[in-house]
Amino acid sequence: MAHTRTPLDFWGGGPLEKFGFIIHPLDWQDIERKFPYAAKVPPGWLEKACCFMPPIVASHITGIRSSTGLEAEGWFIGLTLTPHVMLEKLPTEKVIKKIVAAGRKAAECGAKIVGLGAFTAVVGDAGISVARQLDIAVTTGNTYTVATALQGLDYAARAMEIDLKSLPISVLGASGSIGKACARLLAGRGFDVTLVARDKKKLERTAALIREESGVSVRVQTDLSAAVRSAGAIVAVTSAMEAVVDAADLQPGTIVCDVSRPRNVSKAVAEARRDVLVFEGGVVVVPGNVDFGMDFGFPQGTAYACMAETMILALEGRYENYSLGRDLDPNRVEEISRLADKHGFRLAGLRSFERAIAPERFAQVREEAEKSKRPGFVSHI
């Protein structure tokens, strides 16, 4: 529930808005980096031990200051569960119970809204069951993730001097909440879209929804390799726990926005194919002089879009369930984009495997793609 603003709030000096965000390791190396002694424990034992560990306050986040003058603080709440454990080792009910415990830990810190990071936003019904069991608001952050993914795709195409509407776009993971929303928005804006996932029936339902709401027909494809081969641009948002894109399938000049964590495109693929552009979706500059209290691999002052959405809602005083479930509201994508602009959040350029993409890289991709114009290849340059 939003609280009433006072003039003091808008000029600074008012109460700090408070949020929490749940994080977890993507693999055992992440645990070893946080707890070096864990490297001495056999992986099997470590996996079992982490299943019993309670959530912890991983860090205190300070220094977030909106361009309106409002300020916020937050807490990273850590779960010691990897995607492998959440999706394959523990029953869904137990994982949700642990996520709820992490949400309650955030509330104990003073948070009025909690964001679900990475696979905590995927398990079960994408946050709905968690929200029912908490007394504070919940969001997955997926709405702003969609917004920044599409912004990044547009940014990349302009930097490559390509008309994005001339490219066939494959959305990998189009049956999930982020993929479905990306597909709906892209199709509604007149782009040539293919929906890609394993479940054809889910894809056909999404295709029918798109046709009903925008009058646009989209293709459905369950063969990921075929979808990649036919694409000029790709939005990769599958929940796979390993890379799913094969270097040999990418056509020269293809633009790939990889939103997934763990990544859908491995670093080896990007290095092998210098004639394609692979970038990370959803990297955002946070206004103010933010100190996250820990290093999660991003440059100072930047965060994942899902984290940023939680911060934006806190600054706005929108303590309400926002991005939940598998069907995101496309209108909210536009809304969160406006709120991000209002508070000073913005896309942090483009990054690829922990490094900013230099301006000259776009020209290099174009040059390499031109060289690849040979029999058997279809260049999108």
Say if pTM beats, i.e. exceeds, 0.75.
yes
- pLDDT for 2 beyond 60: no
Helices and strands, counts by H and E, the chain = 14, 17
Answer for the pair 294, 307: CB distance below 8 angstroms, yes or no. Answer: no
- pLDDT for 7 beyond 90: no
**Rounded mean pLDDT of 220-228?**
97
Position 373 confidence tier, pLDDT thresholds 50, 70, 90: low
Name the percent of the chain lying above pLDDT 90. Answer: 73
Stretch among 1-5, 93-97, 236-240 having the lowest mean pLDDT: 1-5
Q: Does domain 148-282+350-371 have CATH number 3.30.930.10?
A: no
Position 29 confidence tier, pLDDT thresholds 50, 70, 90: low
Q: Is the bond leading into 54 cis (omega within 30 degrees of zero)?
A: no
Two structure tokens written together for 187: 């199709």
- pLDDT for 260 beyond 60: yes
Position 1 confidence tier, pLDDT thresholds 50, 70, 90: very low
**245-272: burial string, b at 16+ Cβ within 10 Å, e else:** bebebbbbbbbbbbbbbbbbbbeebbee
- What pLDDT is attached to residue 379? 63
Dump pLDDT digits (tens) for 292-335. Answer: 999 887 889 999 999 999 999 999 999 999 999 999 999 999 99
Dump pLDDT digits (tens) for 328-360. Answer: 999 999 999 999 999 999 998 899 987 889 999
Concatenated DSSP letters for 1-30? -PPPP-HHHHTS-SPPEEEEEEE--SSHHH
- What pLDDT is attached to residue 172? 98
Stretch among 35-44, 57-66, 191-200, 207-216 having the lowest mean pLDDT: 35-44
Report the C-alpha gap between 9 and 12 in whole angstroms: 5
Report the C-alpha gap between 197 and 178 in whole angstroms: 13
Q: Distance between alpha carbon 110 and the CA centroid of its chain, in Å? A: 25
Taking the domains of the chain in order of start, what are their residue ranges? Answer: 7-143+285-347, 148-282+350-371
Name the percent of the chain lying above pLDDT 70. Answer: 89
* Backbone phi, psi, residue 366, to 5°: -60, -45
- What pLDDT is attached to residue 33? 64
- On average, the pLDDT of the chain sits at 90
Which is more confident, 290 or 5? 290
